[in-house]
Amino acid sequence: MNAMTPTIAAGATVTELAPTTRIVLRLADPGGVGIALGVPLSERIGSRATNGARSALCLGPDEWLIEAPETEAATLGAMIADLAARTAISAVEVSDREITWRIEGPAVLELLAAGCPRNLAGMPVGEGARTIFDSVQIVLTREAEDRFHLTVWRSFAPHVRAILDLALRELASGL
Amino acid sequence: MLLIHCPYCDETLPELEFAYAGEAHIARPADPSKLSDEEWRDFLFIRTNPKGVHFERWRHINGCGRFFNAVRETVGDKFLSTYEAGEPRPDVATLTGEAK
Ligand SMILES: [Zn+2]
């Protein structure tokens, strides 16, 4: 790795995003449910479907993370209540449980490697995964070649942020 | 670090995302009250603990969340195969290349 190149010195930035609506949806048969929610439910783990500002990331064989702007919380809640009346589903709103950081810059992969053992260079843009960051479970999505969103439980955030800040200082000093 | 292939994610991923979950293919007795104390003890505690090929459960806990089964060679710590929960044991001779 070219640890001393100027692109690494330029580093990366970590920005907390505004609150958003998050719902963990679990169900056995996703066919047709996507239509009722206004966003398709992709069945391949790691893939994410979007419709406008609404997105559904497939976290597991029967699990999706639905994200939408905070203003859509009531609309989405009503859609899910309607769906639950017809289908066996589990839907848990976890909006306030987690926060999301936008992490971007030419050194974003080096920065995330400070805590995440996954080969993130191989994650396609537009996809994501639940994974681990120094013992803390996180959800990562790749928004662009050099931009990720890291979602973490609020109570673990200071720990993750401390490691990111330390790694940023290491990158800035050329380590 | 070991790399483990999750049969649900269909990706080979770092060991840190996974948790070991004991020996595989141990079915819970349908009617525990019919078992003798010795049989119940064996179900709860007695495991094969082989030096060599071991069938075991793993969970992709920091990932898709699913339990699956793996065949691991316990001397060299090499994973020979992983497969979805509920599937039969794969043939060991085929996995180790000892089949003719
Ligand atoms: Zn998995």
Residues of chain B with pLDDT under 50: none
Indicate yes or no: CB of A45 within 8 angstroms of CB of B10.
Answer: yes
**For chain A, what is the radius of gyration of the CA atoms?**
17
Burial per residue of B58-74, b for 16 or more beta-carbon CB atoms within 10 angstroms, e otherwise: bbbbbbbbbbbbbbbbe
Neighbours of A174 (CB within 10 A): 11
Report H helices in chain B: 37-45, 92-96
A106: contact with B, CB 8 A cutoff: no
Q: Is the dihedral of CA B28, B29, B31, B33 positive or negative?
A: negative
Interface with chain B: mutation pick from A25, A42, A45, A151, highest number of B CBs within 10 Å:
A45
Residue A48, pLDDT score: 97
- CATH number of the CATH domain containing B75: 3.30.2270.10
Residue A16, pLDDT score: 96
Q: Give the tens place of pLDDT for each residue, A41-95.
A: 999 999 999 999 999 999 999 999 999 999 999 999 999 999 999 889 999 999 9
Indicate yes or no: CB of B17 within 8 angstroms of CB of A59.
Answer: no
Could you list the residue range(s) of the whole structural domain that residue B82 is in?
A: 3-96
What total number of domains does chain B contain?
1
CB-hemisphere CA count at 13 Å for B2?
Answer: 16
Indicate yes or no: CB of A60 within 8 angstroms of CB of B66.
Answer: yes
Report H helices in A11-156: 33-37, 73-84, 108-112
Chain A CB contacts of B1 below 8 Å: 117
A161: contact with B, CB 8 A cutoff: no
Q: Which domains does chain A have, with CATH numbers?
A: 7-17+97-173 (3.30.1360.120), 20-96 (3.30.70.1520)
